[in-house]
């Protein structure tokens, strides 16, 4: 596992390993040093699959990096990770969050890109903090994760490679918008739009004191 084994905001993974691993056969190791892009690329290329099952994730960059290297992914269906799995709706169009379906964590859509092996959460709760009023915390069952790992393991090396390359083809496509070229084009487009729509500010502004608009969320909480 490439992570901090002990963190004040997390679990003592050394203690977890000691508690659940047979002393005669311990095969859980921790990598805690930062690696160069070249080293990370090497690891992605020698891996059969990359897995990220965090319970809430803004994006999940390691999945994107894995796909760029042509390696398939296992991911919890939460946050930005689901965007990289390319779930499709009944019209075979790429699902994007909407007020009616703000997340696919409730398994509204099951079909995903063939490079992705999604694990749907079995426990969904709403948590938050001072800077983040609320966020869904989606926890998947470890048995579902184990079954998904077995599913990937039972594929032939050729099939895993084919699926991984399909993921690379998609993640570098214009549709995904995740390639360096597309991200640069989007930034330039936004800058040009800003200049085109720029309006100089007046010397002063008048504000009418009104009842503030409620901050009630625009999307469904139950769906």
Indicate whether 108 and 10 sit together in one domain: no
The C-alpha atoms of residue 16 and residue 21 are separated, in whole angstroms, by 8
Cα dist from 85 to 9, 23, 223, whole Å: 28, 37, 21
74 neighbors 119 (Cβ within 8 angstroms) = yes
**Domain CATH for 121:** 3.40.50.2000
CA-based radius of gyration for the chain: 21
With respect to residue 51, please indicate whether it lies within any of the assigned structural domains: yes
81 and 151 in a common domain? yes
- Position 7 confidence tier, pLDDT thresholds 50, 70, 90: confident
What is this structure's pTM? 0.84
Note the pLDDT tens digit of each residue in 19-73: 999 988 898 999 898 889 999 999 999 999 999 999 988 899 999 999 999 999 9
Please check whether residues 71 and 23 belong to one and the same domain.
Answer: no
């Amino acid at each position: 596992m490439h992570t901090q084994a002990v963190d004040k905001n997390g679990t003592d993974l050394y203690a977890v390993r000691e508690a659940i691993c047979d002393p005669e056969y311990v095969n859980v190791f921790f990598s805690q040093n930062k690696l160069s892009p070249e080293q990370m690329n090497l690891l992605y290329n020698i891996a059969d699959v990359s897995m990220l099952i965090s319970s809430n994730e803004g994006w999940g960059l390691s999945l994107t990096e894995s796909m760029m290297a042509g390696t398939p992914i296992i991911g919890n269906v939460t946050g930005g990770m689901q965007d990289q799995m390319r779930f499709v709706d009944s019209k075979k169009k790429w699902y994007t969050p909407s007020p009616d379906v703000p997340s696919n964590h409730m398994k509204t859509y099951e079909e995903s890109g063939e490079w992705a092996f999604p694990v749907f959460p079995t426990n969904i709760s709403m948590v938050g903090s001072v800077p983040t009023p609320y966020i869904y915390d989606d926890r998947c069952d470890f048995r579902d994760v184990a079954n998904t790992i077995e599913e990937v393991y039972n594929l032939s090396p050729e099939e895993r490679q084919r699926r991984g390359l399909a993921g690379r083809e998609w993640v570098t496509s214009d549709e995904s918008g995740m390639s360096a070229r597309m991200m640069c084009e989007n930034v330039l487009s936004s800058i040009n739009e800003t200049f085109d729509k720029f309006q100089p500010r007046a010397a002063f502004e008048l504000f009418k004191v009104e009842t503030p608009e409620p901050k009630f969320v625009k999307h469904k909480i139950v769906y």
